[in-house]
């Protein structure tokens, strides 16, 4: 059966599975980051009709929710909102006239927003909500023309993960609940709207866009962007969307995407989302990528010109199996999304770009995690953290990504790659289109791997990974001949036995530079850092990953010659991992903090709300920003 036929059949089977998915869904009684009550009533479908106002920085319109009532006695629908202006609510359950429903919006919580409580004289099957967003909605980033690449048109995009979807749509904003959706978006003419749904590359720019997502998704995967967006096809089921000034370079950088999809299908089963398109956003986007189904959102900072940073795309594609298909039921279980995805990312990179690159990328990440654990509290090192009273975004550290994927590498080593691949494929099929907990994964692991291969692994070893701080002593770690040589050269350079120019670094890969800069002492002598910059021109580099590490070293070494270029980096880029630690490092000294505050005052209007919050925390708590 050819690829498209397999995908079509998988989609039909997936839709059949989804209709009963909640019956087998997680045993998590209530998501602490949501007011919703999915044990009583669940949203099964969403239809939104929104008009964009760039002048007011507002989306306005309506949301229609299809409901499935699970508790016959329930007479209230509780939804999550944050800053929404609710105008009216109506019962759309089939009457010629839609009767109004009484509602109240609770006092807002600084983390959770406000519960929208809708009284139900009877259990309505459909509910209509007219509303508008706040200009400072946490899930929307509004950009003036000057903040875009083209400088001609405004731009807006959403970022719903973890719990910011409630700031632009009233819904059950919990990964426990999955729903299909349709949308009608009205825009100014000449601009394009795209969503995590079926996008038409040939759609006229007439201001009238309609979308459908038939597969059921959790709320954090709702996504919308509107702006001056061009399109280039890069494969039989993929296209790149980006500003016209960026689209050609992006298409060239990401033209291996079909190889990545085919590789992952061979390992873990068919791609079940029909198309895999990529939207390259303006540089203010706070993440490397966001796995919105059918339309990954990506930062332009991964366009290095040599495909050395496309593992971010491999990561977001991998989410099509781990995260989008099998989803964490609450944010304390986010390692089920990110740890599995980082593991699959490594397998994709290995298959498409070679084992050396995959191993070196993991070594860079593992060393970063070791550094983090050197100062992190034990509670911050757990794969399943206690998030009581904390923001859901606090779960998104290096721990679920790197420690989670390291655990899966450990399992692969214990059982062998072929056995573990078969287990993972069965896991994705078994829990397809469901939201699960760590306990459900452990039960599946025990029944389908441990019990079938007795003597290879016990539950104490599993629990050491899941519920104990640190990394177990027998954790596997790949080797790199290039890194081994570099370790010697770097040590000689640090103690003065080797000059900067004798490092022979002109041909180093991005991963080699990352490793080298990460492993240097946080402070070099003025002579050493000057010599490095003179030999390799690191100040002003266009590779954002190398630039971030170089400027972090420059701050620690007091190398103020790099500060003007560092400032430009911090003004231009809103990706949190590449700017927030720089603010934290600067804030460790009074002089540095003064500079950081001046840079932030200039950069703040172009930063996403999530980046702003992280920067402000870094300025308050230097050294605790990651």
DSSP, residue by residue, 378-389 = GGGG-SS---TT
Give pLDDT tens digits for 453-484.
999 999 999 999 999 999 999 999 999 999 99
CA 165 – CA 605 distance, rounded (Å): 21
The answer to whether the Cα torsion of 114, 117, 118, 123 is positive or negative is positive
CA distances from 488 to 361, 492, 557 (A): 19, 6, 22
Coil, helix or strand at residue 439: helix
CA distances from 97 to 76, 91, 94 (A): 21, 9, 8
CATH topology of domain 328-467: Neutral Protease; domain 2 (1.10.390)
Q: What is the CA radius of gyration of the chain?
A: 24
Question: What confidence score (pLDDT) does residue 5 get?
Answer: 34
Segment (H or E) for 78: strand 76-81
Q: Superfamily assignment of 35-221 in CATH?
A: tricorn interacting facor f3 domain (2.60.40.1730)
CATH topology of domain 481-620: 1.25.40
CA distances from 1 to 9, 90, 263, 268 (A): 10, 48, 16, 16
Q: Which of 186, 212, 187, 180 is nearest to 199 (CA)?
A: 212
pTM: 0.94
Coil, helix or strand at residue 128: strand
At residue 207, φ and ψ (nearest 5 deg) are 85, 5
CATH class of 229-320: alpha beta
**316 noted as active-site residue:** yes
* Residue 122: other Cβ atoms inside 10 A: 10
CA 415 – CA 396 distance, rounded (Å): 29
DSSP, residue by residue, 35-54 = ---TTTEEEEEEEEEEEEET
HEC-encoded secondary structure of 406-438 = HHHHHHHHHHCHHHHHHHHHHHHHHCCCEEECH
CA 215 – CA 274 distance, rounded (Å): 10
Q: Which residue numbers in the chain have pLDDT < 50? A: 1-27, 625-626
The tally of CA atoms less than 13 A away on the side-chain side of residue 476 is 15
Q: Which of 49, 52, 76 is nearest to 184 (CA)?
A: 49
Which residues have a Cβ under 8 Å from the Cβ of 115 and sit 6 or more positions away?
Answer: 35, 78, 79, 80, 81, 105, 106
Catalytic-role residue among 316, 338, 361, 545: 316
Residues 52-70 as b or e (16 or more Cβ within 10 Å = b) = bebeebbbbbbbbbbbebe
**401 noted as active-site residue:** yes
Question: What confidence score (pLDDT) does residue 16 get?
Answer: 36
Domain residue limits, the chain: 35-221, 229-320, 328-467, 481-620
Cβ atoms of residues 506 and 423 within 8 Å: no
CA 508, chain centre distance (Å) = 28
CA 269, chain centre distance (Å) = 22
Question: What confidence score (pLDDT) does residue 96 get?
Answer: 75
Catalytic-role residue among 181, 353, 401, 559: 401
Angle CA(17)–CA(21)–CA(26) in degrees, nearest 5?
A: 145
Q: Which of 473, 343, 462, 465 is nearest to 408 (CA)?
A: 343
HEC-encoded secondary structure of 180-244 = EEEEEEECCCCCEEEECCCCCCCCCCCCEEEEEEEEEEEHHHCCEEEECCEEEEEECCEEEEECH
Give pLDDT tens digits for 588-616.
999 999 999 999 999 999 999 999 999 99
At residue 113, φ and ψ (nearest 5 deg) are 75, -145
Question: What confidence score (pLDDT) does residue 27 get?
Answer: 47
Question: What confidence score (pLDDT) does residue 623 get?
Answer: 65
Question: What confidence score (pLDDT) does residue 20 get?
Answer: 38
Beta bridge partners of 218: 178
């Amino acid at each position: 059966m050819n690829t498209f036929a397999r995908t079509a059949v998988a989609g039909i089977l997936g839709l059949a599975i989804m209709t009963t998915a909640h019956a087998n869904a997680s045993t998590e009684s209530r998501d602490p980051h949501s007011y919703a009550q999915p044990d009583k009533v669940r949203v099964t479908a969403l239809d939104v009709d929104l008009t964009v106002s760039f002048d007011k920085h507002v989306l306005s319109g309506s949301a229609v929710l299809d409901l499935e009532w699970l508790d016959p006695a329930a007479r209230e629908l509780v939804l999550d909102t944050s800053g929404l202006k609710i105008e009216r609510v109506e019962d759309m359950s089939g009457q010629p006239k839609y009767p109004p429903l009484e509602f109240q919006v609770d006092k807002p919580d600084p983390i959770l927003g406000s519960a929208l409580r809708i009284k139900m004289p009877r259990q309505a099957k459909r509910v209509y909500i007219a509303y508008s967003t706040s200009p400072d909605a946490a899930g929307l980033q509004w950009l003036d023309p000057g903040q875009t690449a083209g400088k001609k048109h405004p731009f807006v995009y959403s970022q719903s993960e973890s719990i910011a979807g409630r700031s632009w749509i009233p819904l059950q904003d919990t990964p426990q609940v999955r729903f299909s959706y349709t949308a009608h978006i009205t825009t100014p003419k000449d601009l394009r709207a795209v969503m995590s749904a079926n996008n038409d590359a040939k759609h006229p720019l007439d201001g009238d866009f309609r979308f459908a997502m038939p597969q059921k998704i959790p709320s954090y995967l709702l996504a919308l962007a509107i702006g001056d967006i061009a399109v280039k096809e890069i494969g039989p089921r993929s296209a790149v969307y980006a500003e016209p000034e960026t689209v050609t370079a992006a298409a060239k950088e990401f033209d291996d995407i079909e190889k990545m999809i085919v590789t992952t299908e061979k390992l873990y089963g068919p791609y079940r989302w029909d198309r895999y398109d990529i939207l390259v956003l303006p540089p203010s986007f706070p993440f490397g990528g966001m796995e919105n189904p059918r339309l990954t959102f990506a930062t332009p900072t991964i366009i290095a010109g040599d495909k050395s940073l496309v593992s971010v795309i491999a990561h977001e594609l991998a989410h099509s199996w781990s995260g989008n298909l099998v989803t964490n039921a609450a944010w304390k279980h986010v390692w089920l999304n990110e740890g599995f995805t980082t593991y699959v990312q490594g397998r994709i990179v290995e298959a498409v770009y070679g084992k050396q690159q995959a191993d070196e990328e993991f070594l860079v990440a593992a060393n970063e995690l070791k550094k983090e654990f050197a100062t992190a509290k034990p509670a911050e090192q757990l794969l399943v953290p206690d998030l009581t009273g904390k923001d859901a975004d606090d779960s998104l550290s290096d721990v679920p990504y790197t420690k989670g994927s390291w655990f899966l590498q450990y399992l692969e080593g214990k059982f062998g790659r072929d056995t573990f691949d078969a287990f993972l494929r069965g896991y994705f099929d078994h829990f397809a289109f469901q939201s699960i907990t760590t306990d459900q994964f452990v039960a599946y692991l025990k029944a389908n791997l441990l019990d079938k291969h007795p003597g290879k692994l016990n539950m104490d070893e599993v629990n050491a990974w899941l519920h104990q701080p640190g990394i177990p002593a027998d954790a596997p770690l790949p080797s790199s001949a290039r890194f081994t040589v570099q370790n010697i050269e770097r040590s000689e350079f640090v103690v003065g036995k080797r000059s900067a120019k004798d490092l022979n670094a002109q041909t180093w890969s991005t991963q080699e530079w990352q490793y080298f800069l990460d492993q240097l002492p946080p402070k070099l002598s003025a002579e050493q850092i000057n010599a490095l910059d003179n030999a390799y021109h690191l100040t002003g580099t266009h590779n954002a990953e190398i630039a971030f590490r170089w400027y972090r070293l420059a701050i620690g070494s007091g190398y103020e010659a790099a500060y003007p270029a560092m400032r430009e980096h911090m003004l231009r880029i809103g990706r949190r991992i590449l700017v927030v630690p720089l603010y934290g490092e600067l804030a460790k000294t009074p002089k540095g903090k003064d500079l950081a505050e001046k840079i932030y005052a200039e950069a703040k209007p172009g930063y996403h709300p999530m980046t702003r919050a992280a920067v402000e925390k870094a300025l308050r708590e230097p050294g605790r920003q990651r």
